[in-house]
Amino acid sequence: MPQPNTSYDAIVIGSGISGGWAAKELCEKGLKTLVLERGRNVEHLKDYPTALLAPWELPHKGATPRALLDANPLISKAAGYGEDTAHFFVKDADHPYEQEKPFDWIRGYQVGGKSLTWGRACQRWSPHEFVAPERLGYGMNWPIGYDDVADWYTHVERFVGVCGAADGLEAMPDGDFLPPFDFNCAELHLRDALRRRYRDRHVVQGRWAQLSEPREIHLQQGRGTCQARNLCMRGCPYGGYFSSVSSTLPWAQKTGNLTIRPDSVVHSILYDEAKGKASGVRVIDAHTQAITEYRARIIFVNASALNSTLILLNSTSRRFPNGLGNDAGVLGRYVAFHNYRASAHGTLDGLEDRYFYGRNPTECILVNFRNLGKQDADFVGGYTTFTGGYRTRGVDAATRLGGTYKDAQAQPGPWGLYMYMQGETVPKYDNHVRLHDTLKDPFGIPRLVTSVGYDDNDEAMIRDWLTQANEMLAAAGCRDVESRDNHQAPGLDIHEMGGCRMGRDPRTSMLNAWNQLHAVPNVFVTDGACMTSTGNQSPSILYMALTARAANHAVEELARQNL
């Protein structure tokens, strides 16, 4: 039997949204690249078993069976989890971790990772978000600013296909967008009502990785127009939304430079003391537990924020007894997330003679208006608000049973408006993850301990958001407004960030301005682990932009013989 090739130019750990981008960029630049994915293989079209099912064709018609819930009390809390998508989420029992404080760690272990089930929101960070923590005194500055990533945002937007309008707003910069989705009539009403009442409340179309009108580059990927089915998380047979599986990975494959190894659990990154560089990775076969070591000149760590941190913590050597590159002792520290606790909705009378066509996979955004460039609230950080109009089913009838009742139930009901928050949180030393001293996972790797919680700032932000949302829905003419704080644990936002943060100073950070470990420059960490602060925008597009930027830097540095 021939030995499998174990030597590559580059290794990418993880095949999710950032790993896919690393693979694409590195392969395009001619590097023989190995992508290691701990989960099973998933291929575009072939492995979307529920993609074409109508609701009544699902075994429980869209309801979730108790057996699935009872076996998976944690992962089943994730947005979009159901019998139609459960195959793209881990099973609770397979992947244990220890919650020192409640933390819902949502994972999707397969080729494509969580890019199959992501929310698809692609707003750019505002220039303010990069500098606000230091300027307003609640955190450390990023080593880069908006100008460093602006062109990379464009680079990524063009390939991904991001729809949105040119709104000219400071809090949410414009990009190279495909045409936006339409507002529905209730959303137009909300936009105009808030425009009349406030100076600073802009309801606009979000930016979405949704092909409203594909360009040549998207057709070349084999992707087509979004069909407005709103079933994205099952995998899209039309390629209407972006995932690693539908886009970057097959693109990288076409170069002939890509090797993907599913079922390959990375144990650690190997460090060569003599050369002062990482030399490869140690991999455990998920089925046979066999250990293989792979070698490469550069290593991209894209295993998702907490798993990338875990791998680095588990990569110990004489030089780095506390984890690879962890001279400062901040690896695993400054973990943050997005605050999703508050939401509100109300009934909107009128517009009964208006309706819509299709199932909209996108939402509107009420752009951040708090602490934008200056402190103007009793908390720090900003919040993005997702919002939209919906039409319910069923109108009241004179009877509670019989033909009149039934036909009334089938009519379009009143309109409503909803809002929910996505708030910035402050990275703190105490909010951390670490390796468990004794408990191991099924592969013999120390279990992750999560110790991440909310703070008073988060509570103050929630109070303000609820006040503002109630006021705005009332200003839009809603009745029966209800708002709530769901008190969900951190992690359920699926926006966990940090653990291996970027920074200028190697004494307080792990990564430099190019996402290289300060102490081991041929290791790049470009997923959520690298985040210095959380901003208030959905983070995936920034991970993709940072990854593309770092990959191109890596190629240049290799050419200069610097790595």
Q: Scanning residues 363 to 382, which ones bind other proteins (CB under 8 A)? A: 363
The binding track of 456-495 with respect to other proteins, each residue x by CB under 8 A or -, is ------------------------------------x---
Binder of other proteins out of 1, 3, 4, 66 (CB under 8 A): 66
Pairing of strands 291-295, 383-393: unpaired
Taking the complex as a whole, the smallest distance from the CB of residue 540 to other proteins amounts, in Å, to 13
From 167-175, 245-253, 303-311, 348-356, span contacting other proteins (CB under 8 A): 348-356
Taking the complex as a whole, the smallest distance from the CB of residue 494 to other proteins amounts, in Å, to 9
Asked if 87 touches other proteins (CB under 8 A), the answer is no
Binder of other proteins out of 78, 162, 312, 435 (CB under 8 A): 78
From 128-136, 283-291, 293-301, 342-350, span contacting other proteins (CB under 8 A): 342-350
Name which of residues 22 to 51 contact other proteins (CB under 8 A).
Answer: none
Asked if 413 touches other proteins (CB under 8 A), the answer is yes
Q: Which residues contact 37 (CB under 8 A, 6 or more apart)?
A: 14, 15, 19, 109, 110, 111, 113, 260, 261, 262, 263, 264
From 148-156, 306-314, 326-334, 388-396, span contacting other proteins (CB under 8 A): 388-396
Say if CB 323 and CB 33 are below 8 A apart.
no
**What's the angle, vertex CA 17, arms to CA 15 and CA 19, rounded to 5?**
40
Cα(436)–Cα(366) distance, integer angstroms: 41
Select 102 or 127, whichever has its Cβ closest to other proteins: 102
Binder of other proteins out of 51, 79, 460, 474 (CB under 8 A): 79
Any idea what DSSP says for residue 169? B
- The residue to which tokens 């792990």 are assigned: 510
Asked if 92 touches other proteins (CB under 8 A), the answer is no
Asked if 396 touches other proteins (CB under 8 A), the answer is yes
Taking the complex as a whole, the smallest distance from the CB of residue 345 to other proteins amounts, in Å, to 4
Cα(81)–Cα(440) distance, integer angstroms: 27
Binder of other proteins out of 2, 3, 54, 274 (CB under 8 A): 54
- The residue to which tokens 């992508």 are assigned: 35
Taking the complex as a whole, the smallest distance from the CB of residue 71 to other proteins amounts, in Å, to 10
Select 53 or 136, whichever has its Cβ closest to other proteins: 53
| 3-class DSSP assignment, residue 470 | helix
Binder of other proteins out of 2, 216, 256, 353 (CB under 8 A): 353
Taking the complex as a whole, the smallest distance from the CB of residue 364 to other proteins amounts, in Å, to 10
Any idea what DSSP says for residue 403? H
Select 37 or 493, whichever has its Cβ closest to other proteins: 493
Q: Which residues contact 411 (CB under 8 A, 6 or more apart)?
A: 393, 394, 395
Cα(180)–Cα(223) distance, integer angstroms: 18
- Side chain identity at residue 207, one-letter code: R
Name which of residues 281 to 340 contact other proteins (CB under 8 A).
Answer: 340
Binder of other proteins out of 43, 182, 441, 485 (CB under 8 A): 182
Asked if 21 touches other proteins (CB under 8 A), the answer is no
Say if CB 449 and CB 322 are below 8 A apart.
no
Cα(73)–Cα(91) distance, integer angstroms: 10
| 3-class DSSP assignment, residue 456 | helix
Asked if 59 touches other proteins (CB under 8 A), the answer is yes
Name which of residues 496 to 525 contact other proteins (CB under 8 A).
Answer: none
- Side chain identity at residue 209, one-letter code: A
Say if CB 348 and CB 480 are below 8 A apart.
no
Taking the complex as a whole, the smallest distance from the CB of residue 410 to other proteins amounts, in Å, to 4
| 3-class DSSP assignment, residue 307 | helix
Name which of residues 415 to 444 contact other proteins (CB under 8 A).
Answer: 416, 418, 420
Binder of other proteins out of 19, 388, 423, 498 (CB under 8 A): 388
Select 331 or 497, whichever has its Cβ closest to other proteins: 497
- Token pair, residue 395, equals 């109108």
**What is the CB neighbour count within 10 angstroms for residue 510?**
34
Asked if 528 touches other proteins (CB under 8 A), the answer is no
Name which of residues 194 to 223 contact other proteins (CB under 8 A).
Answer: none
Select 45 or 377, whichever has its Cβ closest to other proteins: 45
DSSP letter string, 148-188: HHHHHHHHHHHHHT-B-----BTTB---S-BPPPPP-HHHH
Name which of residues 110 to 129 contact other proteins (CB under 8 A).
Answer: 119-121
Cα(459)–Cα(219) distance, integer angstroms: 46
Residue 150 φ/ψ, nearest 5 degrees? -55, -50
Taking the complex as a whole, the smallest distance from the CB of residue 101 to other proteins amounts, in Å, to 19
Cα(468)–Cα(489) distance, integer angstroms: 23
Taking the complex as a whole, the smallest distance from the CB of residue 2 to other proteins amounts, in Å, to 46
Cα(538)–Cα(185) distance, integer angstroms: 26
